[in-house]
Amino acid sequence: MESDTCIATPHAAVPRQVQPDFAAIKAKQQSTWASGDFAVIGTTLQIVGESLAEAADVRAGERVLDVAAGNGNATLAAARRFAQVTSTDYVPALLDKGRVRAHADGLSVQFQVADAEELPFDDGSFDAVLSTFGAMFTPDHGRPAREMLRVLRDGGRIGLANWTPEGFIGRLFKVIGAHVPPPAGLKSPALWGTEPHIVELFGPRAAQIRCERRIFNFRYRSAAHWLQVFRDYYGPTLKAFAALDAAGQQALERDITALLEEMNTAGAASLVVPGEYLEVVITKH
């Protein structure tokens, strides 16, 4: 009988789920995003912020919060639509980049250092909350989801742009993770690019969830050019290479180059790599 088997092996090892040290992981992530200069890459993603502002139907006069805003793509898109925008990130240097961009465009934006997992705003303070490739990188997925819902008024909208697991960035995460494993027990940020995970995080408080798969094209001179830019300026890639010895760096470079060349649609003369992401619009009850 099965019950007898269980009693006969009381000392058998029972797998335990590893509980990540979220505080330590967050501190490391903050250091990672502060390294390099993400704004160099972030500005190339501006079209995603514009698309998201349209999908979320951002309107003039609305109170809009950009969470994990980076250098402000969704921030600028909402401000161009004459919304009252508050741009937040936990890396002050990235907000400084957004501030310079807003000033150059003559846009009025409030900038505030804030953690996506603990937003310093009252319940129902905003008509819309946006995040482009930002909230998805928080270590504890449930916390930013609850916080975005909390600070959003009833009937308001949350707009998200999240890389998918099957797309280029999702596959890049897997390549890097094979060389520099992520912390044990940590959920992949690419889960935010799946409909079931979005429903799990937001469904109980949502009147409606709309998901659409979209493409952002990474356009560079060559695979070597992409790799140079991302090694120099993109924190996660910069830190991954820094964590490896010379042989490990060569192996990671080889595997990333192979992925880029596999996904390149431009032929030998240039590099165009389609990056799939999930565009999500959630309407709160």
Rounded Cα–Cα distance for residues 9 and 56 (Å): 56
Residue 16 confidence (pLDDT): 54
In this predicted structure, the answer to whether residue 120 has a pLDDT above a threshold of 50 is yes
Domain ranges, residue 212: 23-218+275-284
pLDDT digits (tens, 9 = 90+) for 203-212: 999 999 999 9
**pLDDT confidence of 26, banded at 50, 70, 90?**
confident
- Residue 204: inside a domain: yes
In this predicted structure, the answer to whether residue 6 has a pLDDT above a threshold of 80 is no
Residue 28 confidence (pLDDT): 84
- Residue 244: inside a domain: no
Residue 220 confidence (pLDDT): 98
Say which CATH number the domain at 183 has. Answer: 3.40.50.150
- Residue 3: inside a domain: no
193 burial (CB, 10 Å; 0-12 / 13-18 / 19+) is buried
Rounded Cα–Cα distance for residues 284 and 219 (Å): 36
Cα 96 versus chain centre, distance = 19
Contact 161, 48 (CB under 8 A): yes
- Residue 242: inside a domain: no
- In a 13 Å sphere around the CA of 80, the CA atoms on its Cβ side amount to 18
What is the average per-residue pLDDT within 32-58? Answer: 94
Percent of the chain at pLDDT > 90 equals: 86
Burial 159-190 (b: 16+ CB within 10 A, else e): bbbbbbbebbbbbbbeebeebeeeeeebebbb
Rounded Cα–Cα distance for residues 268 and 129 (Å): 41
**pLDDT confidence of 12, banded at 50, 70, 90?**
very low
**pLDDT confidence of 18, banded at 50, 70, 90?**
low
Contact 50, 77 (CB under 8 A): yes
- Residue 203: inside a domain: yes
- Residue 1: inside a domain: no
pLDDT digits (tens, 9 = 90+) for 54-98: 999 999 999 999 999 999 999 999 999 999 999 999 999 999 999
Helix runs in 90-194, H state only: 92-104, 142-151, 168-179
Q: Which residue has the higher pLDDT, 184 or 155?
A: 155
In this predicted structure, the answer to whether residue 13 has a pLDDT above a threshold of 90 is no
3-state secondary structure of 206: strand
**pLDDT confidence of 17, banded at 50, 70, 90?**
low
The answer for residues whose C-beta is within 8 angstroms of residue 221's C-beta and 6 or more apart is 270, 271
Nearest to 205 by CA among 129, 112, 118, 120: 129
- Residue 229: inside a domain: no
**pLDDT confidence of 254, banded at 50, 70, 90?**
very high
3-state secondary structure of 235: helix
Nearest to 186 by CA among 15, 14, 13, 23: 23
Four-residue CA torsion sign, 34, 215, 55, 123: negative
**pLDDT confidence of 3, banded at 50, 70, 90?**
very low
pLDDT digits (tens, 9 = 90+) for 215-253: 999 999 999 999 999 999 999 999 999 999 999 999 999
Looking at every residue in the chain, the average pLDDT score rounds to: 93
Residue 139 confidence (pLDDT): 94
Residue 73 confidence (pLDDT): 98
Contact 90, 115 (CB under 8 A): yes
Distances (CA, A) of 104 to 91, 95, 109, 129: 21, 14, 12, 24
Percent of the chain at pLDDT > 70 equals: 94
In this predicted structure, the answer to whether residue 280 has a pLDDT above a threshold of 50 is yes
- Residue 113: inside a domain: yes
How many structural domains comprise the chain? Answer: 1
